[in-house]
Structure 1
Amino acid sequence: MNGENGVTADHADQADREDRADQTGSAGRPARPRTPWLGDVGLSVVVPVLGGDDRIGGTLAAAPGRLDALLGTGPGAWELVVVVVDDGDGPAGTVLAAAADEPRIRLVRPADHGADHAAADEPDHEPGHPAAGHPRPGGKGTALRAGVLASAGRRVLITDAGLTTPLDELARLERELDGPDPDGAPAAVLGRSGNRLVRAIGIPGIPGFRADTCGFALFDGDRARAAFGASTLDGPAIDAEVLRWIRRQGWHVAEVPLNRAPGTADPARTADPARTADPARAAGPVRTTRPRPRRTAGGLRLALGELLRLNAGGLAVAAAFLALSLYVFQGLWADLDGSYLADALQDQNQWEWFVGVTTDNVTHLRNPLFTFAQGMPDGVNLMANATMLGLNVPLIPVTLLFGATVTFALVLTLGMAASAWTWYWLIRRRLVRSRWAAAAGGALAAFAPPMVSHANGHPNFVVLFMIPLIVDRALRLCEPHRRGRGATRDGVLLGLFATYQIFIGEEPLLIAALGMLVFCLAYLLVDRRRALAAARPLGAGLVVALAVCLPLVVVPLFWQFFGPQSYHAILHGDNAGNSPRALIEYAGRSLFGDPETAARLSLNTTEQNAFYGWPLLAFGVAVCVWLWRSRTVRALAITGFVTLLLSLGPWVPVPHTEIVLPGPWRLMIKLPLFESVIEGRVAMVCAPILGILLALALDRIVRLRTRELRTLGLLGAAAALIPILPLPLTVRERAPVPAFITSGSWKDYVKDGEALVPVPLPDPGQADALHWQVEADFGFRLAGGYFNGPWGPDRIGIYGATPRHLSNLLRDVRYGAQPPEVTPAWQAQARQDLEYWKAGAVVLPVQERDTQLRDLLSGLLGRAPEKVLDAWVWRVGPGAP
């Protein structure tokens, strides 16, 4: 409450404490003169003096005149709060001498003031904490905290002892703090200097190692005192700690460029007493004579220590996510050479091949968007397949050193953990205060049943750490105060983020964009005014993002859609949507799941795209009802409901009946891009939605007043989560690579430009030959294959190479069909197919029904094979007998 004179009770108490401290002093130091209370203060200028900084004399001589000129000469127009930390009585004596002539100059010594204030304002600290009444060690954090807490101004300006940035630049900060939009008025305005990269990418809590990260910053007074009062760090990282705390309160931090010429300074920076004593001579810029202090090893250690301390909670969350990811993939890591994900079908072989072929192309300076390694003679359009160039290219050194399987396992393991962490970061940054509530939400978003299902061999649907960053940048564009350079910067970063995500996974980005579009429309329904206000800055930012993204991806996308071996809509069959029962059942690798039930209700073991379980869906509905007043919750609820409906596909069978209803996906099935999407995957949008709802609920539950309600709420969350806890992915023994391949014997049978024809040929049902090729360092080409490519004159997308008569025949016999009678027609067809593939050798490794296959091929080729180690081989290239 404000008193009649406009002074808060807290400030009055503070003044009394200061008066007592000033009169008493400290041992060995003269008592400070009593500073009269100035009433309401317009601006407090806080100046920390560290390490014997000798620039304060010039500042004290020049600053009062400049402040009078800028703010007025009244007793409450401004105050200059100089904080001297652990440096004897030299600078302190200078300040006391200046204060004797100018009562608006105040000296603060943290050793006898800041600790008391901190102890009074931070009662929750444990005994022994630096804020618990003990003198703090000297440092920038100590000085700033003491100075800001001792300030009384409606606004607080932080600057350095040498006024590196001229005080005339204050007007720029004030104009930004007096923004036209009261709802969007910032809590702090920073001069654009110091650690620009950290603020540019918008990652809070990562302190810079420069002393001037917030070297010239203007704060709302009350918010500044709250923020610095909540701080705990004593060194330079307090800048990042305070900014992160402010952002978590939902307050805005703005930046403005400042006019600071290199090699010049404010008049106060000169060390010449004669110059500083003469205001006329001090008016012009001078070249500083004081060298910039060098960063010492001790200072770097302090900054690193504060970085760890500031981010200790985030690091603990990251470690927990990594441990959870290792738990999921423990079977794969236990035996990288011999283990294969049992539910991966042939996807692990395919993804390891993608890793290997990317490495082979780049290291041999070949086109990374195309290869002839599979699908002879047509090849494979790699850009039209999810080859994850954005990760496989940077990880080429890992692949060269340790192999494709290690890279595959590393991408999956670190990808899931990183995705959980960025969802946690977004949730905590935007929605909740509790770290562990945000961590629970991030874990659910990244380790939900659909994600664990795709972890069996679909890294592009597991490595989603860019999606939360894209969402955050889009939300920043929606903020009404984003304009000018800030909006342009956000648009540029959004374009770069989207570009990188395209090279990690295009389909996840398309599905995420669909989810964000539905959320925007839902928010338009629940809050029309704010949605329309956000539309303009968002639209402008998207234009900038497209202008950045399109030039970077135009060539790869042209190659993907119009290049060799490109295709149109890919066929997924009529069973690609989710069954309504799949929404309430459990996935095969969930704690309460039944693999047989999940298999009946899903496309395959890697496509269990819903299976959230009825307890979690019920919990989500309950949270929506509880928090329905929140516009965000209402928009999330609408988005989740719509995406679940879309995931049911174009036709929705009613369980336990023969009724089939048209689904909303029918409206989208013919749209460009969406015609290739597996519609059941749209339900994956609900993973982060449920994660956000969980975090919001836990954040409220832990702050409920009664223990009984807290216990009931936590039990409800546990009941929803325990049934879907992920189980480790199962593994099986990997099929061995034939010695014919590992020994290099194949080199005597397959020449450059020829293809090796395994029996049966690799296809989506059996693709072990892809692993042979990886182990042989892509020394030979393969007929057949497992990839996405065109089929027929309409170039419809299919899985695998276009089948031939011989490939179909060998596959049918391998899996139980009776071999046909060998006729001249069959022999001619076999020769024709081998010539089409440019075959150099046909290789039959040891396997089931290999006798039937050997006899069939011997009849078709008119001769018996050679036995080479563990394989039967027929030479069929030019010059073969």
Structure 2
Amino acid sequence: MSVVSADPPVASEPEAHQERAGAAARPSWLRRHRTDLLVLAGYIAAGVYLYLHLWVAPGERRPQHSYSDFFQFEWFLTADTRALLGLHNPFFNDLQNASVGVNMMANTSVLGLAVPLLPVTLLFGAATSFVVAATLGFALTAFGWHLVLHRDLDLRRSAAVLGGAAIAFAPPLVAHGNAHLNMVSLFVVPLIVRYSLRLFRTERPVHDGLRLGALIVWQCFIGEEVLLMAALSLAFFVLIHAIRNTAGVRAMVRPFLTGIGTALAVSLPLLAYPIYWQFLGTQSYSNIGYLAYVTNDLNTFTEYSTKSLGNDSGVLTSTNYAEENAYFGWALPILAIAIFVWLWRDRLARTTAIVGGLFALMSMGPEIILHKEHTGWPGLWRLFVDVPLLDSMNVGRFTFVTVAALGVMLAVATDRILRAAPHPTVPVRLIWAGALAAALVPLLPVPLPAVGLPPVPRFITSGHYRDYVAQNHTMVPVPPIDANSNVLPLGWQVAAGMDFRLPEGYFMGPVGEDREADNQPPKGPTSTLVLRVFGTGKAVTPTAAQREAILAELRRIQADALVAYGPQARTRLPELKATLDPLLGPAKQVDDVWVWDVRALTG
């Protein structure tokens, strides 16, 4: 009969001494990763530099060229936080577009950023969360690509640091840093690339597939557009890589399919309901058809962005400052072609270059445009323009794949130069450093200009609005919200803790019988009447039918008050009062706004 002792085993004195010596010799986690941490700190410093004018007063400024999108993302972050804390459906929100609501999954609601940023939003506000998210978005994207290049592709650390910076701080990403959190928070993408490519050579396909599935879910809630671009580029990469390498690929098929199957088994159940809501839920839409024609002008590929050192004129030649999607200058494309020719026999460099070139061609859309003139030359995207899902992509942003390809090529070429033995007569490294400087120094970004956030009316900040608008009832702004010229009421909602609702708004929603998406809904009868006053500069007497339609709309959206604000409203106040007073009753000045109390009319 055996007896099991309850006492723990005791090592002999020599063994215990060896264990203590081994533990002492083993470096700490901090020492093992200190170089990585220094690299990350450098990237964070670069991100802070880029948003220097916002960090001077976080929460009080916005990027000057953010247009309406800053307020939209501030609203999304706040609405997401409210939904998470209140255990509401995060995929739908009725705070805008009363009483129809907004399909948050069909918009860039960045739920995947709102969750980790929830403490920042609660403590400091969504405007501060914006600058934190944007800064870390650039830094972590650079760091993620640095890890892929250094650890997975086994490139020298300095080459990987260069490649990560060249990708994350490239002109297209910097341009989107003016406004679009979903397009600069790309740190999940290099990890998706890492685990996708690892499936071809992994001995643990299920383990790596689990990680890939979790990353797919996270990226879906940061930005589906980027996820779809990553999937397309990886598909092209695998197909091109397989050409003339069928024997090698055949051996990789089984672990790859096992890993992909595992990733889909993880991600699809988690994304089934959100995707259902996006395409079939309330306020879903069919497509965003016009984006196929938001493309890159051919000449912009060799120009310099307005936010780079190489642009000394500041002249905008793109759609807007946040959509400067090419702008690589002359030297970088020439250097890229030279690398492509030089490293033609390197399968990684060759495949990467071809994929980057294909996406650059596709970014020019169905027809090539040169200096804003139609050339009649067919573009590569003509083959894909009517494919479901692809027909809702912003084609001009395909250069994000080109940026990643350029960064990888620069890193691989730099690694080759550093590993090569010094030439006895030709200073190869010095020449390469000069070529890099000529290509990249003019592309270095300047700090994004910033402006102060407009003041929120005292009517809101004082809490006096609660005397006129009940919780979850609707405040009607005058003038109404307009995606291009007036989204300030979104900031009022944020300042009031999302205490009331707004009619119409700024979001992507269905318009017309074909339910194609637009960034603002059709104007109702109340907004139509008010806009007519602003447009003509004269008082308007509504017809009996218009009066009935306006009152019916105000009842339907549970409107408690119309609120006129700002210099535009003050300029047209006599005409507004002459139009609305007979219909709604006399306006009353409260703090710095004029209020038409309509509760007696709407019940």
Shift of 1:526: 4.9
Q: Deviations over 1:373-392 (max 9, x none)?
A: 11111011112112121221
- Distance in 1, Cα, partners of 2:282 & 2:334: 49
Map 1:436-475 → 2, pairs under 5 A: 436-475=158-197
Shift of 1:395: 2.3
Map 1:272-287 → 2, pairs under 5 A: none
| Native 8 Å contact 2:539 2:575 kept in 1 | no
* Letter matched to residue 733 of structure 1: G
Quickly say closer, same or farther: Cα 1:657–1:567, change in 2 above 3 A.
Answer: closer
Bigger proportion of residues as helix? 2
Q: Deviations over 1:605-641 (max 9, x none)?
A: 2111111222111111111112111011110111011
Provide the residue aligned with 2:267 in structure 1. 549
Map 1:269-668 → 2, pairs under 5 A: 303=28, 307-479=29-201, 482-483=202-203, 486-572=204-290, 575-593=293-311, 597=315, 599-600=316-317, 602-655=318-371, 658-668=374-384
Provide the residue aligned with 1:768 in structure 2. 488
Equivalent position SS for 1:642: helix
Provide the residue aligned with 1:81 in structure 2. none
Map 1:86-165 → 2, pairs under 5 A: 139-140=21-22
- Distance in 2, Cα, partners of 1:376 & 1:595: 44
Provide the residue aligned with 1:236 in structure 2. 26
* Letter matched to residue 451 of structure 1: L
1:697 aligns with 2:408: no
Shift of 1:394: 2.9
Gaps of 5+ in 2: 1-10
Quickly say closer, same or farther: Cα 1:737–1:829, change in 2 above 3 A.
Answer: same
| Native 8 Å contact 2:368 2:374 kept in 1 | no
| Native 8 Å contact 1:654 1:660 kept in 2 | no
Provide the residue aligned with 2:6 in structure 1. none
- Distance in 2, Cα, partners of 1:549 & 1:743: 46
- Distance in 1, Cα, partners of 2:289 & 2:350: 36
Quickly say closer, same or farther: Cα 1:550–1:823, change in 2 above 3 A.
Answer: closer
Quickly say closer, same or farther: Cα 1:53–1:642, change in 2 above 3 A.
Answer: farther
Q: Deviations over 1:430-452 (max 9, x none)?
A: 33432111101001111111111
Shift of 1:52: 6.9
Equivalent position SS for 2:321: coil
- Distance in 2, Cα, partners of 1:54 & 1:739: 76
Shift of 1:753: 4.2
Shift of 1:808: 4.3
Shift of 1:309: 2.3
- Distance in 1, Cα, partners of 2:60 & 2:171: 26
Shift of 1:581: 1.0
| Native 8 Å contact 1:609 1:681 kept in 2 | yes
Provide the residue aligned with 2:457 in structure 1. 738
- Distance in 1, Cα, partners of 2:526 & 2:411: 57
| Native 8 Å contact 2:292 2:392 kept in 1 | no
* Letter matched to residue 638 of structure 1: I
Quickly say closer, same or farther: Cα 1:859–1:656, change in 2 above 3 A.
Answer: closer
The alignment-based identity, stated in percent, is 38
- Distance in 1, Cα, partners of 2:442 & 2:575: 53
Shift of 1:801: 2.6
Map 1:850-869 → 2, pairs under 5 A: 850-862=570-582, 863-869=585-591
| Native 8 Å contact 1:353 1:774 kept in 2 | yes
Shift of 1:750: 1.2
- Distance in 2, Cα, partners of 1:575 & 1:686: 19
- Distance in 2, Cα, partners of 1:702 & 1:349: 46
Q: Deviations over 1:542-569 (max 9, x none)?
A: 1111111111111111111111111110
Quickly say closer, same or farther: Cα 1:808–1:719, change in 2 above 3 A.
Answer: farther
Quickly say closer, same or farther: Cα 1:812–1:589, change in 2 above 3 A.
Answer: farther
| Native 8 Å contact 1:587 1:595 kept in 2 | no
Shift of 1:810: 3.6
- Distance in 2, Cα, partners of 1:591 & 1:319: 23
Provide the residue aligned with 2:443 in structure 1. 724
| Native 8 Å contact 2:309 2:443 kept in 1 | yes
Quickly say closer, same or farther: Cα 1:879–1:565, change in 2 above 3 A.
Answer: same
Equivalent position SS for 1:478: coil
* Letter matched to residue 452 of structure 2: E
| TM-score w.r.t. length of structure 2 | 0.92
Shift of 1:836: 4.3
| Native 8 Å contact 1:449 1:612 kept in 2 | yes
- Distance in 2, Cα, partners of 1:658 & 1:393: 44
The alignment's C-alpha RMSD in Å is: 2.3
- Distance in 2, Cα, partners of 1:548 & 1:139: 43
Equivalent position SS for 1:621: helix
Q: Deviations over 1:144-185 (max 9, x none)?
A: xxxxxxxxxxxxxxxxxxxxxxxxxxxxxxxxxxxxxxxxxx
1:798 aligns with 2:514: no
Match of 1:708 among 408, 427, 432: 427
Give the length in aligned residue pairs.
586
Larger Rg: 1
* Letter matched to residue 493 of structure 2: Q
Shift of 1:724: 0.6
- Distance in 2, Cα, partners of 1:574 & 1:665: 8
- Distance in 2, Cα, partners of 1:658 & 1:569: 25
Equivalent position SS for 1:606: helix
| Native 8 Å contact 1:763 1:801 kept in 2 | no
Shift of 1:455: 0.9
Equivalent position SS for 2:476: strand
* Letter matched to residue 353 of structure 2: A
Equivalent position SS for 1:841: strand
Q: Deviations over 1:121-163 (max 9, x none)?
A: xxxxxxxxxxxxxxxxx832xxxxxxxxxxxxxxxxxxxxxxx
Equivalent position SS for 2:600: coil
Provide the residue aligned with 2:5 in structure 1. none
Provide the residue aligned with 1:759 in structure 2. 478
Shift of 1:871: 0.4
* Letter matched to residue 732 of structure 1: V
More moved, 627-636 vs 524-533: 524-533
Gaps of 5+ in 1: 1-50, 57-83, 88-137, 141-210, 212-233, 238-302
Match of 1:839 among 559, 562, 568: 559
- Distance in 1, Cα, partners of 2:364 & 2:310: 23
Higher relative contact order (CA 8 A, sep 6+): 2
Equivalent position SS for 2:199: helix
| Native 8 Å contact 2:296 2:369 kept in 1 | no
- Distance in 2, Cα, partners of 1:562 & 1:656: 37
Equivalent position SS for 1:860: helix
Quickly say closer, same or farther: Cα 1:859–1:812, change in 2 above 3 A.
Answer: closer
Shift of 1:850: 2.5
Q: Deviations over 1:175-230 (max 9, x none)?
A: xxxxxxxxxxxxxxxxxxxxxxxxxxxxxxxxxxxx6xxxxxxxxxxxxxxxxxxx
Provide the residue aligned with 2:596 in structure 1. 874
Quickly say closer, same or farther: Cα 1:362–1:579, change in 2 above 3 A.
Answer: same
Provide the residue aligned with 2:4 in structure 1. none
* Letter matched to residue 95 of structure 2: A
Shift of 1:360: 1.3
Provide the residue aligned with 2:503 in structure 1. 783
Match of 1:674 among 374, 379, 390: 390
| Native 8 Å contact 2:178 2:322 kept in 1 | yes
Shift of 1:529: 2.9
Quickly say closer, same or farther: Cα 1:811–1:447, change in 2 above 3 A.
Answer: farther
* Letter matched to residue 60 of structure 2: G
Quickly say closer, same or farther: Cα 1:556–1:723, change in 2 above 3 A.
Answer: same
Quickly say closer, same or farther: Cα 1:833–1:588, change in 2 above 3 A.
Answer: farther
Shift of 1:833: 4.1
